[in-house]
Structure 1
Amino acid sequence: MRKICSGCRDGVDFEIPFAMAFQPIVDTLTGKPFAYEALIRGTDGAGAASILSRVTDANRYSFDQACRVKAIESAMSAGIMADDARLSINFLPNAVYSPLACIQLTLRTAKAVGMPTDRLIFEFTENEQMGSPEHVASIIETYQQIGFSTAIDDFGAGYSGLDMFARFRPDEIKLDMELVRGIDTDRRRQAIVRAVVQMCADLETLLIAEGIETADEAATLRRLGVRYHQGFWYARPALKRLPQLNPACLLRAA
């Protein structure tokens, strides 16, 4: 337990250098970024796999802590406070042994750089290996009490999505890109997303579609009632900076 506690306390035990890239989540009603997702990259811009492949059971706790610190500090350096966009950070539920204890470094970092807690979103994937559902529910409840928003990423990619949605009560869900890909020509995907839109409206849950790559996908999702979009059509992730939105996507949304 001493090693785990050390990793959660300072996050410095993760010695592999890495950087953060940022991709906007766009509010298509306003044409402005609602949030930026922090995405782990190598310091040379290499994909996430170059870092994630080196995460082990021994350094998992310090890795999770280091990612939170790097995301907050990098977003502040990139100028995220210039508007009211939020910061979305991925986290590993199985790297949180005590929700309140393991969040302390995050809180200290946010306070030190002037990041309001209500502008932080913590997302975890439906496919993430995790401990008991009760433990994950405890993490989400603790984060929401602190003032963070929580999100289930890759919703619809696994077999347990609806069960997780009912059990954990996240503030947001992010549609998996496999439901988004080619949705403009796929009636089955359209019917599924239409039902998810209604479900989220009934449960007062914000819905984000990710992995949007074309104007037609974006237009179809807007027509189905999905307001918040993320994907290459709007902007590719930018290393250590906040990317500019694709002007074409703003013209289409107008």
Structure 2
Amino acid sequence: MTIPESIRQQTCRDCLAGKDLGFAIEMAFQPIVDLQTQKIIAYEALVRGPNGEGAGWVFEQVTHDNRYYFDQACRVKAIETAAKLGCKEFLHINFLPNAVYSPETCIKATIEAADLYGFDLTKLVFEVTEGEEIISKSHLQRIFSSYAARGFQTAIDDYGSGYASHQWLVELRPHILKLDRTLIIDIDQSPEKQQEVKQVLAQCELQGTRLLAEGIETEAEMQTLASLGLRYMQGYLFARPEFKGLPEVTFPSMS
């Protein structure tokens, strides 16, 4: 999709000015853990409605006309809330690549928000989800390259459930790859899933990408993933998302 320059400039001005979406958003946070060190290393910001309504309710309010402002508003709200809660860990923020006109211009509101609320820019991780149909892979590559050049980390979310393939992993070279829940559920009972995770892990290790398993709900899944060599994990087993809060984690024992 080609955006006329006049609309592009006006949209970026609106993003920086904090254009009103027409509905309110808040954030919930879910921890990401390092099983090896038994520590929380990051929190993922998850968009919610003003009263804790789920992401489904929020995205029902998003239209073609406000999706660009929505993407910017989510970044600003995530940084603002995390800073006010005293988050010192990495902060994962989901973004809509099709809502980014120009990486260099559209990141300005994010930088200004971090400066305003005193959040460390080097602690930001931008995740693109497989749920977002990517119009242009080359555009996403430009976004990733631009963000990496500024010192931000990048991640592909929900790997294994959508558009991304082995070739995307190789070409985009994200700092972090997050395995989708579909690959994790009952992995302790599936040699096929275990073999697939081994292959992805081997490629990640080859190119210096950290592999993170999300959606972990049972100790058996955790134990199996750990035995395969994964150390970074996220899921209900460790903590559910907390509305406008940073949940703590009680680590299951490793047998």
Task: Name the TM-score, length of structure 1 as normaliser.
Answer: 0.94
Match of 2:107 in 1: 103
Q: Partner residue of 2:205?
A: 201
Contact 2:85 2:245 in 1 (8 A): yes
Q: Tell me whether 1:29 sits opposite 2:36 in the alignment.
A: yes
The AA in structure 1 aligned to 2:148 is Q
Native 8 Å contact 2:219 2:252 kept in 1: no
Match of 2:172 in 1: 168
Distance 1:116 1:96 in 2: 22
Shift in Å at residue 197 of structure 1? 1.3
Q: Are 2:147 and 1:143 aligned?
A: yes
Find the aligned partners of 2:135 and 2:243 in 1 and give their Cα distance: 32
* 1:152 aligned partner: 156
Contact 1:152 1:173 in 2 (8 A): yes
State the partner residue of 1:40. 47
1:147-180, Cα deviation, whole Å (9 max, x unpaired):
1000000111125322221221111100010000
Quote the offset at 1:114 in angstroms: 1.7
Cα deviation, residue 118, structure 1? 1.2
The answer on whether the counterparts of 1:171 and 1:206 sit within 8 Å (CA) in structure 2 is: yes
User: Shift in Å at residue 3 of structure 1?
Assistant: 4.2
Matching residue of 1:212: 216
For residues 29 and 21 of structure 2, the distance between their equivalents in structure 1, rounded to whole angstroms, comes to: 21
> Are residues 1:67 and 2:52 paired?
no
**Cα distance in structure 1, aligned partners of 2:135 and 2:20:** 23
120, 123, 145: which one aligns with 1:119? 123
Q: Which runs of 4+ in 1 moved over 4 A?
A: none
Gaps of 5+ in 2: 1-6
Q: Distance in 1 between matches of 2:252 and 2:159?
A: 29
User: Share of identical aligned residues, percent?
Assistant: 46
Q: Does 1:58 align with 2:42?
A: no
For 1:201-252, what per-residue CA distance to the aligned partner results, in whole angstroms no more than 9, with x for missing partners?
A: 111100100000001101111110111000000000000010011x2xx241
Q: Give the match's secondary structure for 2:253.
A: helix
Between 144-153 and 112-121, report the one with greater CA deviation. Answer: 112-121
Specify the code of the residue in structure 2 equivalent to 1:227. Answer: R
| Cα RMSD for the two superposed structures | 1.3
CA shift, 1:127, in A, is 3.2
Q: Distance in 1 between matches of 2:19 and 2:34?
A: 36
Q: Give the aligned length.
A: 248
TM-score normalised by L of structure 2 = 0.94
On the 8 A contact 1:182/1:217 being kept in 2, the answer is yes
Conserved? CA contact 2:216–2:237, under 8 Å: yes
Alignment partners' CA distance in 2, 1:228 and 1:252: 16
Displacement of 1:11 after TM fit?
A: 2.8
Equivalent position amino acid for 2:69 in 1: S
Structure 1: gaps of 5 or more residues: none
